[in-house]
A and B are shown apart, each in its own frame.
Chain A
Amino acid sequence: MVKKVVSGNYAAAYAAKHARVEVVAAYPITPQTSIIEKIAEFIANGESDIQYVPVESEHSAMAACIGASATGARAFTATSAQGLALMHEMLHWASGARLPIVMVDVNRAMAPPWSVWDDQTDSLAQRDTGWMQFYAENNQEVYDGVLMAFKVAEHKDVQLPAMIIESAFILSHTYAIVDMPPQEEIDEFLPPRKPLYTLTDFDNPIAVGALATPADYYEFRYKIAKAMEKAKEVIKEVGKEFGERFGRDYSQMIELYKTEDADIVFMGMGSLMGTVKEAVDVLRREGYKVGAAKVRWFRPFPSEELYELAKNVQGIAVLDRNFSFGQEGILFNEAKGVLYNTDAKPIMKDYIVGIGGRDFTVEDVKKIANDMLKIVESGKLDEEVDWFHLKR
């Protein structure tokens, strides 16, 4: 193992290199990140023979990845916020063609007003594109996530693209220790891609991007739905294998922290959950029975794991670093939906936190714990959605 002190962005770039990515297509200008700069540096230094295709927009970046992936290559790209939004159309083309492209999105708030800070709304707005989504808590998870994502995405029963998501600045520009396994061990874990079909297999020609009439389109959608369902099993298998090989287990799609005897659980995604775990330890020392549930994979959604958690707790405080206008926080909305037809009925409240990079601290988690305790004890939910940091 080599341990390096690297930013989240560099962790992503190293992971792409170690995954032996063959093609990277990217738009190299704002809002592009240092992920692509680092990959370009690897190539310039002769450390990597990745084919780098600089293109004129994020839309074209994804189009080039689609072309590369359709020929059987392992393709990778990275973007952020407005760039991801511009890619939106092509995201559907990637999943519809069942291409296992992996992309890192640096979670940034959408403009206007301009912001370069952390916010999950950019990636969650791509919820229905047929991409898998993994939210990283720290730089190590950015690195591990990219390696696992290729293995899951390329699995013959999945064949869907995956997005690894890291917080702007909080991970992307923060230097922390990342443990990188030896290349031979990564190669064993992630052998070269074996595509089921390719555009360049001239003995078995295929059509990509064809028309499907109402007689067939429906079945194509069903197959994606089934593949996404199957991906849950594959994610757990791959996460377990990763743990056995490298010592970091990802067999759970929701990572549970001190939830066994917890009355209240904080549930959220991404980097803010590191702070929440720290706060759980502080609160436990003060006698609070609290725990944390970190939703690693948002797509496919870990409904069964959520149910298992929810049936044993009194309250779930959902921490949404995102918002769906006209409704509520997106994780809250999903989690409530999952539990509706079950016997698990914890009280749930949605705390809108950290949007646009607002700092979310241990003190904030304490305040939420006290608010939630009051609600659980009285059995009365004062409001479903709390704009927690609002200047009043």
Chain B
Amino acid sequence: MIEIRFHGRGGQGAVTAANILAEAAFSEGKYVQAFPFFGVERRGAPVTAFTRIDEKPIRIKTQIYEPDVVVVLDPSLLESVDVTAGLKEDGIVVVNTEKSKEEVLASLKKKPKKLALVDATSIALEVLGLPITNTSILGAVAKATGVVKIDSVEGAIKETFSGELGEKNAKAARKAFEDTVVYEI
């Protein structure tokens, strides 16, 4: 089972990102589960969401405490939230940032095995005209983890948002997939 934890801020679409990732893995024949941290979040407040992906039915109903992958949608969270809490030894961290590898590593409490960086905000602004990074960050997740194919991510995005909105968001994910730089730490 692969367990993924998303960190975002209310309104950025972390919960939708978790759902779309599940939808993408489901389209590849996997068993999936996606859920928000069971809170009462408000716009701008730190938000957590989770996705589980497995080859067999998923029965467990608890939150994720030891994620394989951590995804950070908002770079400012690195200063205020311990995003690597419980991260597995061979864990992967995906961050939306314009900062360098060294700067990001310095702000992580735990060193991941792999670090993937992408400036998803700039991509979202360019492609969507809005700083909503939930779809572009999924392109980075596909590249960094290989847990789903980018084609499946694009498919799941178009499934979630119809028409032009779906096309644009899928394009943002594809661009992020291409731009993401993955470092072995």
CB-CB nearest in chain B for A257: B59
Minimum C-beta distance from A388 to chain B (A): 15
**B-facing residues in A72-117 (Cβ within 8 Å):** 116-117
Complex contact A357–B59 (CB within 8 A): no
In the bound complex, CA of A174 to CA of B51 (Å): 10
Contact partner of B62 among A173, A176, A177, A359, CB < 8 A?
A: A359
A170 to B60, CA, bound (A): 10
Q: Which A residues touch B32, using CB under 8 A?
A: 5, 175-177
Given contacts A275-B62, A359-B62, A360-B62, A173 and B35 within 8 Å (CB-CB): yes
Interfacial residues of chain B within 13-48, with CB under 8 A of chain A in the complex = 18-19, 22-23, 26, 31-36, 38, 40
**Is A278 within 8 A of B59, CB to CB?**
yes
Task: Write the nearest CB–CB distance from A48 to chain B, whole angstroms.
Answer: 19
**Complex formed: what's the CA distance from A298 to B88 in Å?**
40
Among candidates B23, B34, B40, B59, residue contacting A174 with C-beta atoms closer than 8 Å: B34
Residue A362, interface by CB 8 Å:
yes
Q: Is B38 touching A170 in the complex (CB atoms < 8 A)?
A: yes
Q: Please tell me if A274 contacts chain B, counting CB pairs below 8 Å.
A: yes
A116→B23 CA distance, assembly (Å): 26
Q: Inside 8 A of B18's CB, which chain A residues have their CB?
A: 175
In the complex, whether A288 has a CB less than 8 A from a CB of chain B is no
With both chains docked as a complex, state the minimum distance between the C-beta of A81 and any C-beta of chain B, in angstroms.
Answer: 14
Q: Is A34 an interface residue (CB 8 A)?
A: no
Cross-interface CB contact of A274 among B22, B26, B40, B59, cutoff 8 Å: B59
Q: Size range of the interface on A? A: 20 to 34
Min Cβ gap B122→A in Å is: 29
A5 touching B35 in the complex, CB below 8 Å, given contacts A359-B62, A360-B62: no
Bound CA span A362–B66, Å: 13
Instruction: Give a binary string over A351-364; 1 marks a CB under 8 Å from any B CB, 0 the rest.
Output: 00000010111100
Q: Which residues of chain B are within 8 angstroms of A278 by Cβ–Cβ distance?
A: 59-60
Q: A175-B19, A176-B33 are in contact. Are A275 and B59 (CB under 8 A)?
A: yes
Chain B residues near A174: list those with CB within 8 A: 33-35, 61
Inside 8 A of A177's CB, which chain B residues have their CB? 26, 31-32
Chain A residues with CB under 8 A of B23 = 5, 175
Contact B58 A117 (CB under 8 A): no
B17 to chain A, nearest CB (A): 12
* B152 contacts chain A at the CB level, 8 A cutoff: no
Q: Is B63 an interface residue (CB 8 A)?
A: yes
Residues of B with C-beta under 8 A to A175: 18-19, 22-23, 32-35
Contact (A116, B33) CB under 8 Å given A5-B19, A275-B62: no
Q: How far is the CA of A167 from the CA of B35 in the complex (A)?
A: 13
Q: Taking the nearest CB of chain A, how far is it from the CB of B35, in angstroms?
A: 4
**Number of interface residues, chain B, beta carbon within 8 A:** 20
Q: Which residue of the partner chain A has the closest CB to B19?
A: A175
Chain B residues with CB under 8 A of A275: 59-62
A274 touches B36 (CB 8 A): no
Is A296 interfacial (CB-CB < 8 Å)?
A: no
Partner pick for B61 among A3, A116, A117, A274, CB 8 A cutoff: A274
- How distant is B29 from chain A, measured CB to nearest CB, in Å? 10
Q: Which residues in A have their C-beta under 8 angstroms from that of B58?
A: 176
Is A271's CB within 8 Å of the partner chain B?
yes
Complex: A169 Cα to B34 Cα, angstroms: 11
CA distance A274 to B59 in the complex (A): 5
Residues of A within 8 A of B22 (CB): 5, 175
B19 engages A117 (CB within 8 Å):
no
Q: State the CA gap A373–B65 with chains docked (Å).
A: 27
Find residues 270-290 in chain A having any chain B CB closer than 8 Å to their own CB. 271-272, 274-275, 277-278
Interface membership of chain A positions 145-180, coded 1 if the CB is closer than 8 angstroms to chain B and 0 otherwise: 000000000000000000000011110011111000
Chain B residues whose CB sits within 8 angstroms of the CB of A272 once the complex forms: 61
B 146-165 binary contact with A (CB < 8 Å = 1; else 0): 00000000000000000000
Most chain A CB neighbours (cut-off 10 Å) among B33, B59, B61, B62: B61
19 A-B pairs with CB atoms under 8 Å apart are: A5-B26, A169-B35, A170-B61, A174-B33, A175-B18, A175-B23, A175-B32, A176-B33, A177-B26, A177-B31, A271-B61, A272-B61, A274-B60, A275-B60, A277-B59, A278-B60, A359-B62, A361-B62, A362-B62
Ordered nearest first, which 8 A-B pairs have the shortest CB separation? A169-B38, A174-B35, A274-B59, A175-B34, A361-B62, A278-B60, A274-B61, A271-B61
Q: With A5-B34, A177-B32 given, can you name 17 additional A-B contacts, CB distance below 8 Å?
A: A5-B19, A5-B22, A5-B23, A116-B40, A117-B38, A138-B59, A173-B36, A175-B18, A175-B32, A175-B34, A176-B58, A275-B61, A277-B59, A278-B60, A361-B62, A361-B65, A362-B62
